[in-house]
């Protein structure tokens, strides 16, 4: 039996980008307001879950050709590299630094190395959640 | 003003109790799913009122988060009741 899912698919195409932008906002706002890597990663994976609900596993794999185990590994490597980078400057493990940079388009921005650690957390959360959901949802 | 806000909090709590009654009593599964969705909306309005009462803007992200999660949960439940599986492997075959 083929059913027609036009309304949910059209809604998903709009709502996916709203959730995606909200996830990016929560990730970058984590330093001064509530949020951070964990909540942002969970929101990103819930956006992908919404795509999985409206379409199917094969279509989403064609849309986002990501190997989520590799995403988890890259996130762990980024987090560990941020933590280990401090020992090359004769300071203790996990020491963070920040400075102000003049970025194009953004102007004066403070860049903190905790943000790179948070990027690692974000990628690990997205990878682990999507691996679990694809493993459970994709049985024959 | 504060009294007015507390009156609304009590009213929304009463509405939530009504939704919970429908969630427990509801004869069919779609009744319970709609009751859960309405509980999500009630919680969103309660969080908005509490963020006014506590005079802080830090709860506003929770509102959007709860709206997203309630939406996705309702869609997952309704897809389960309609098709019997939540995530399909290939919908064209």
Nearest CA distance, A88 vs chain B (angstrom): 38
pLDDT digits (tens, 9 = 90+) for A14-30: 999 999 999 999 998 88
Which one of A26, A53, A57 has the shortest CB-CB distance to B79? A53
Phi, psi of A93 (to 5 degrees): -55, 140
Q: Which of A28, A57, A13, A7 is nearest to A116 (CA)?
A: A28
> Are A58 and B76 inside 8 Å of each other by CB?
no
Mean pLDDT of B83-93: 78
pLDDT digits (tens, 9 = 90+) for A55-66: 888 888 888 898
pLDDT digits (tens, 9 = 90+) for A32-73: 888 888 999 999 999 999 999 998 888 888 888 989 999 999
> Are B61 and A59 inside 8 Å of each other by CB?
no
Mean pLDDT of B33-51: 94
- Tell me the residue ranges of DSSP E strands in B1-93: none
Q: Which of A121, A130, A128, A124 is nearest to A37 (CA)?
A: A121
Residues on chain A touching B69 (C-beta within 8 angstroms): 46
Per-residue pLDDT band for A1 (boundaries 50, 70, 90) equals: low
- The pLDDT of residue A13 is 92
Whether the predicted pLDDT of A140 surpasses 70:
no
Nearest CA distance, A105 vs chain B (angstrom): 26
Whether the predicted pLDDT of B85 surpasses 60:
yes
Which one of B58, B72, B91 has the shortest CB-CB distance to A50? B72
Determine what percent of chain B is predicted with pLDDT higher than 70. Answer: 99
Residues on chain A touching B61 (C-beta within 8 angstroms): 26, 29, 33-35
Question: Measured between alpha carbons, how far is residue A89 from residues A78, A120, B15 in Å?
Answer: 18, 21, 59
């Amino acid at each position: 039996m083929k059913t027609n899912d036009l309304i949910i698919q059209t809604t998903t195409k709009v709502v996916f980008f709203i959730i995606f932008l909200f996830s990016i906002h929560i990730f970058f706002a984590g330093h001064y307001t509530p949020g951070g890597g964990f909540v942002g990663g969970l929101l990103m994976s819930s956006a992908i879950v919404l795509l999985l609900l409206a379409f199917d596993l094969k279509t989403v794999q064609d849309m986002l050709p990501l190997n989520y185990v590799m995403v988890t590994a890259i996130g762990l490597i980024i987090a560990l590299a941020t933590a280990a980078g401090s020992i090359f400057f004769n300071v203790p493990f996990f020491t963070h630094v920040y400075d102000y940079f003049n970025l194009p388009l953004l102007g004066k921005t403070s860049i903190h190395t905790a943000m790179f650690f948070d990027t690692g957390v974000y990628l690990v959360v997205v990878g682990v959640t999507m691996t679990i959901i694809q493993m459970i949802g994709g049985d024959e | 003003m504060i009294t007015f806000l507390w009156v609304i909090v009590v009213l929304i709590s009463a509405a939530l109790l009504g939704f919970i009654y429908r969630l427990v009593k509801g004869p069919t599964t779609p009744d319970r799913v709609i009751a859960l969705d309405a509980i999500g909306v009630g919680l969103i309005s309660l969080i908005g009122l509490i963020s006014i009462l506590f005079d802080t803007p830090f709860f506003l992200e929770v509102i959007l988060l709860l709206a997203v999660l309630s939406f996705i949960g309702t869609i997952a439940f309704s897809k389960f009741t309609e098709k019997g599986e939540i995530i399909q492997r290939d919908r064209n075959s």
